[in-house]
Amino acid sequence: RKEVEQDPGPFNVPEGATVAFNCTYSNSASQSFFWYRQDCRKEPKLLMSVYSSGNEDGRFTAQLNRASQYISLLIRDSKLSDSATYLCVVTDDYKLSFGAGTTVTVRA
């Protein structure tokens, strides 16, 4: 079983729509959680950290459910520029585990 699993998508949504997707992790002792964004053939970049209480950054909302071992990302009012692959990252001590990514395509 993979440590971090994501629905690969793709999620094809119109501009202005809301899109949400989850990521599940297998290690209950995981300590920190992040969402990274990766554009085609580019390096990953941090989108946001995920806190137990949930957190927002503009149009992006991240949630953590430790009991069910999943994190979620919701994008409101989607923009064309949100088209990317979103990587779920879970950490344990010195090691980061990445999901394979969820691809989101926003169409005009």
Partner 1 sequence: NAGVTQTPKFQVLKTGQSMTLQCAQDMNHEYMSWYRQDPGMGLRLIHYSVGAGITDQGEVPNGYNVSRSTTEDFPLRLLSAAPSQTSVYFCASSFKIWAGQETQYFGPGTRLLVL
Residue 84 found at the interface with partner 1 (CB under 8 A): no
Residue 66 found at the interface with partner 1 (CB under 8 A): no
Residue 7 found at the interface with partner 1 (CB under 8 A): no
Residue 91 Cα to chain centre, angstroms: 14
Minimal distance in Å, beta carbon 107 to partner 1?
23
Residue 42 found at the interface with partner 1 (CB under 8 A): yes
Minimal distance in Å, beta carbon 86 to partner 1?
12
Residue 92 found at the interface with partner 1 (CB under 8 A): yes
Stretch that binds partner 1, among 10-18, 39-47, 57-65, 67-75 (CB under 8 A): 39-47
DSSP 43-84: --EEEEEE-TT-EEETTEEEEEETTTTEEEEEE-S--GGG-E
Give every CB contact of residue 48 below 8 A, 6+ residues apart in sequence: 34, 35, 55, 57, 60, 62
Pairing label, strands 11-14, 102-107: parallel
Chain residues that interact with partner 1, rule: CB under 8 A: 2, 4, 8, 31-32, 36, 41-46, 87, 91-101
